[in-house]
Chains A and B, each alone.
Chain A
């Protein structure tokens, strides 16, 4: 089945440093989504990427989707304490039918920011 690998598992940064998490899929994806989960909270949708090579920005966050639609990254510039949490990527496969609704999540990258 489809697998989504995400690295690193943990990242500790000083406030103001940059942070990047990477996702790789074993199969070509139709789209990839990114979620943020604050400690003790639930996953909250950040963004969806659909096109090959797509780059989207949300303030200090930059999301990329690879040309082959098998990898993606999230980069945060100048981290703040409010960025603390676990960031998950989640990919959808290219097959049709009910299975196309399924999201396969990476294991997440837990970000700690040291003030």
Chain B
């Protein structure tokens, strides 16, 4: 099994550009989430989904949109990139509310 796959691994954007970070899992997990990781800040939850068609905001949702049309995919959209969104983004999935989270390899995003 591939687990959680994120693309791209690296991306450079200009301020104001939009893009979508892709996340796919092949473990039939119902719960998926997006985190951003900044130095000294740990992992902060952006958005999460408890199943297809259901999404909700996390701690730092501003500037990001998500959708969950299938169980497998949970893309993260940056509507108008800002330098403050320079970060490493991780997608994670888990089977349920009390099980381990599996993380993707991460996307390192730089906004100039």
A81 CB-CB contact with B under 8 Å: no
Chain A residues near B56: list those with CB within 8 A. Answer: 98-99
Contact residues, A66-115 vs B (CB, 8 A):
88, 90, 92, 98-108
Q: Contact at B97–A101, with CB atoms within 8 Å? A: yes
Interface size classification for chain B: 20 to 34
Number of cross-chain contacts by CB at 8 Å: 62
Please determine whether A102 and B58 come into contact, CB atoms closer than 8 angstroms.
Answer: yes
User: Within 8 Å CB of B105, what residues of A?
Assistant: 41-42
- Verify if B104 is at the interface (C-beta below 8 Å from A): yes
B74 CB–A CB distance under 8 Å? no
B90 pairs with A98, CB closer than 8 A: no
Interface membership of B109, Cβ < 8 A: no
Closest Cβ of chain B: how far from A1's Cβ, in Å? 7
Among candidates A31, A105, A108, residue contacting B98 with C-beta atoms closer than 8 Å: A31
Contact code string B36-66 (vs A, CB < 8 Å = 1, else 0) = 0000111111001010001010110000000
CB of B106 within 8 A of CB of A42, answer yes
Enumerate chain B interface residues (CB-CB to A < 8 A): 31, 33, 35, 40-45, 48, 50, 54, 56, 58-59, 90, 92, 94, 96-106
Nearest 4 pairs between A and B by C-beta?
Answer: A107-B42, A45-B100, A105-B43, A42-B103
Given contacts A45-B100, A45-B101, A102-B58, 18 further A-B contacts (CB under 8 A): A1-B59, A42-B90, A42-B104, A43-B92, A43-B101, A43-B103, A48-B98, A90-B43, A90-B101, A98-B54, A101-B31, A101-B33, A101-B97, A103-B33, A103-B101, A105-B43, A107-B41, A108-B42
